[in-house]
């Protein structure tokens, strides 16, 4: 296992119960697992890091998840994941879209997600949705009507996604993410 090639990936559930001790439960049935990404002739080749892989390594699952986050931060800083602003702060609709890469959804776990989103969105209350593997939508929390409208639109746009994850919302704060309840 190459440590510089380990990244977090979000999954809509566990592969099996054996995976729970080596995964991070984010809420809403979404788990962060680990993949080893290697560049091949046809692009990135993903290899799932299994509980057996972790047990046979010299690292704990927690250490590997920490390393995966460090690698994700580096990947985003290198521009691997496209980050696009839609609309203008305070506009009728505005959001931040992480896309065009299989690691896009994992950006929900970025340690600086709140600061990054605050810089673009210029609001204090922020939430996020991970409709599929190649997208993360971060938006102002605004009102329940606004959030519901955004989720409805995302459901339309992402209806045919190859690797759907969830349309549930997460709060994004300086201290991290948490499942948003009652939406």
- Number of domains making up the chain: 2
Mark whether 53 and 40 lie in a shared domain. Answer: yes
Picking from 106, 131, 108, 114, the residue whose alpha carbon sits closest to that of residue 6 is 106
The answer to whether residue 60 scores a pLDDT higher than 90 is yes
Mark whether 101 and 169 lie in a shared domain. Answer: yes
pLDDT at position 64, please? 97
pLDDT over 70, % of the chain: 99
Picking from 56, 99, 106, the residue whose alpha carbon sits closest to that of residue 79 is 99
Domain that includes residue 108, residue range? 82-179
- The mean pLDDT value for 129-146 works out to 95
pLDDT at position 38, please? 86
**pTM of structure:** 0.93
Which of 24, 56, 77 corresponds to the end of one domain?
77
Mean pLDDT across the chain, nearest whole number?
94
């Amino acid at each position: 296992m190459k440590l510089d090639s380990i990244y977090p990936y979000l999954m809509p559930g566990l592969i099996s119960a054996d995976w729970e001790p080596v995964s991070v439960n984010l809420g809403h049935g979404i788990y962060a697992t680990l993949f080893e990404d290697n560049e091949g002739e046809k692009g990135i080749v993903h290899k799932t890091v299994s509980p057996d892989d972790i047990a046979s390594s010299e690292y704990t699952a927690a250490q590997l998840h920490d390393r995966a986050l460090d690698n994700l931060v580096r990947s985003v800083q290198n521009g691997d994941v496209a980050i696009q602003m839609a609309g203008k702060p305070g506009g009728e609709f505005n959001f931040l879209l992480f896309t065009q890469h299989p690691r896009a959804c994992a950006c929900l776990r970025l340690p600086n997600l709140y600061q990054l989103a605050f810089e673009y969105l210029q609001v204090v209350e922020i939430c996020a949705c991970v409709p599929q593997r190649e997208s993360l939508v971060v938006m102002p929390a605004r009102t329940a009507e606004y959030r519901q409208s955004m989720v409805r639109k995302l459901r339309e746009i992402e209806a045919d996604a190859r690797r759907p994850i969830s349309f549930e919302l997460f709060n994004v704060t300086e201290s991290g993410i948490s499942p948003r309840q009652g939406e």
